A and B are shown apart, each in its own frame.
Chain A
């Protein structure tokens, strides 16, 4: 019996191998997508994949790519860089995709970017913020907001608009939290604020009371806590619990309905920097928010919006210049005022990162509401153009 079971299992492996040989595909324009569907980042992977599919459906309903259907080929990288790099090769060589989109975290995105740069295939990351992703080379772009911009926006809002003088930082210790905090700190210090507390916490942390008690003792005007919504919900509700009475400020990682669901009423009054304006009446934003909810039964989040935008932008480029890599890249850098996206319009690409107006949103009555918008070039541009364009 034992032996039989084992033999069956071994046979299954072999069969699986045979079955995974791809079926012949019809004439389509393919774009590749890697995203973590398993492991700790599965929730973000799911959001971005579903949104990307939504965008593909939209594109195909509106004529596809020059008459051909747009096809999304997605693989699960489990948020592992070695899988991401192997899968990117698979996308490029086996599936012959025109563009690779990464809906994954920084470490796998960077690995994929390097491969794409080598193979000279256009690559874009959706929400990964690590600066090195676009530094991989001219074939790599970023749809999400670059961390220096977002941190700077946060800094301006905290120090200039809210007038916070004493600022506490509680930083999620990964590339996302750290690079946001650095930019925030630089801006805030420049604007005359003082950092009264700074602490890093690891991804997956749930207990913040001991830090928050120390922060309370430091008596800040504002607590900036860059991180993802799961940790953020704990920070915010525990901050209210220990009686921390100051402004709370977060980032686009908070931008998920789950944040409000988990933090409950404690979320009210929290500011976040984001580029998805839920109060916007731009048709694309409304389309995305409604269809996403229809499709998944969950309200959309920022990660999803980035995935949606990436596919929209890529299909726009493919429509314009075809599938030749060099044409795509040349056109990509000249894009201006791209409106067909769920987040604010993409003004341009600078250093291969998308530049768009930045929103400050506030949680009111258990909803994200529009609060303030930054247009100033010296704030929202990666390198502010001299002379003010």
Chain B
């Protein structure tokens, strides 16, 4: 059986799904395109790694601290968004990515180029959990994240964020404090991204600066846009499909990334709202199916 393989692919896909849900709040709701989300990811992973290897905490005791720290650092890193916007913000986030990578690579406190080794698997009741256990933990965090995102999407906060994203001036004239909501988005986004970083660090067992490169950030944004910007289902779907897609192409090993890159470009152009976003291909198919079912029910 290839159980472990599928399990570990699923674990990583779930971790990325959590991350993309976080990115969705920032980029999907407030339309602040982030091409540096690997930096937020790195902050979660590195904070956890440091707390575990240097402070000797366990997975569970370090987790709340890491999440809190990710949130705070996320807000600090979001501060430039109050001054700059649009394409300047995109490039600023790219910059944050490179700066965070540079700092982790050049300062020995963060392990430097040698990375941080020895991030052990979490334990429950003194017993180390295996791959399956870890997958279940990841999955439950994913479900938790989905729940929070769902609940959040029903609140006024999300409307305020979307208004901020659509037209900042108009939102301000409606009495929305756009700065607060931008920061709010950064805080929520970096929290989820930090959580994803924690889970990732534990499942790999080590962190190296180059794991959080700009290419990763591009992949993250691609996942979100591929699935459907601004929707929870799209974020989860995008993360799973784009993570698993290259695995499907294993049989054309050498041409795998070529096909991947080309497809990414084509699908984004053909389906700018994402495959599962509003008005996307699958979205319409599902809507049609649901409608058909409703119709047949009415007839019967």
Contact = CB atoms under 8 A, between A and B. Distances in A.
A and B touch in the complex (CB under 8 A): yes
Interface of A: 2-3, 5-7, 9-10, 13, 16-17, 19-20, 37-39, 75-76, 78, 80-82, 85-87, 89-90, 92-94, 106-107, 110-111, 114, 119, 130, 132, 135, 173-175, 177-179, 200, 202-203
A322 to B, nearest CB: 24
A9 B275 CA distance: 11
Interface stretch (B26-34, B86-94, B197-205): B197-205
B271 A135 contact: no
Contacts of A110: 115, 117, 205-206
B5 A93 contact: yes
Given A111-B206, A177-B113, A90 B5 contact: yes
Contacts of A93: 1-5
Contact of A107 (B208, B251, B275): B208
Given A87-B5, A89-B131, A132-B206, 20 more contacts: A5-B270, A6-B267, A9-B266, A10-B275, A16-B248, A20-B248, A81-B211, A82-B203, A82-B204, A86-B9, A86-B247, A90-B5, A110-B115, A110-B205, A110-B206, A111-B205, A111-B206, A173-B113, A175-B208, A200-B106
A19 B251 CA distance: 8
Interface stretch (B146-154, B228-236, B252-260): B252-260
Interface residues of B, number: 47
B204 A6 contact: no
Residue from B102, B115, B253 having most chain A Cβ neighbours under 10 A: B115
Contact of B263 (A7, A9, A111): A9
Residue from B117, B203, B282 having most chain A Cβ neighbours under 10 A: B117
Given A20-B250, A93-B1, A110-B117, A81 B206 contact: yes
A114 B118 CA distance: 10
B84 interface: no
Contacts of A75: 250, 253
Contacts of A7: 281
Contacts of B251: 16, 19-20
Nearest to B128: A118
Given A82-B12, A178-B112, A37 B208 contact: no
Which 4 A-B residue pairings sit nearest by Cβ, starting from the closest? A90-B5, A94-B2, A132-B117, A107-B208
Contacts of A13: 241, 245, 248
Contacts of A19: 251
14 contacts: A5-B266, A6-B275, A13-B248, A20-B247, A37-B253, A37-B254, A76-B253, A76-B256, A82-B12, A89-B8, A92-B4, A106-B208, A178-B112, A178-B114
Nearest to A74: B253
A178 to B, nearest CB: 5
A111 B106 CA distance: 22
Nearest to B210: A107
Contacts of B131: 89
A139 to B, nearest CB: 15
Given A76-B253, A94-B5, A202-B105, A17 B248 contact: yes
Nearest to A80: B211
A82 B11 CA distance: 10
A178 B113 CA distance: 7
A6 B114 contact: no
Contacts of B281: 3, 6-7, 10
Contacts of B105: 173, 202
B71 to A, nearest CB: 24
A140 to B, nearest CB: 13
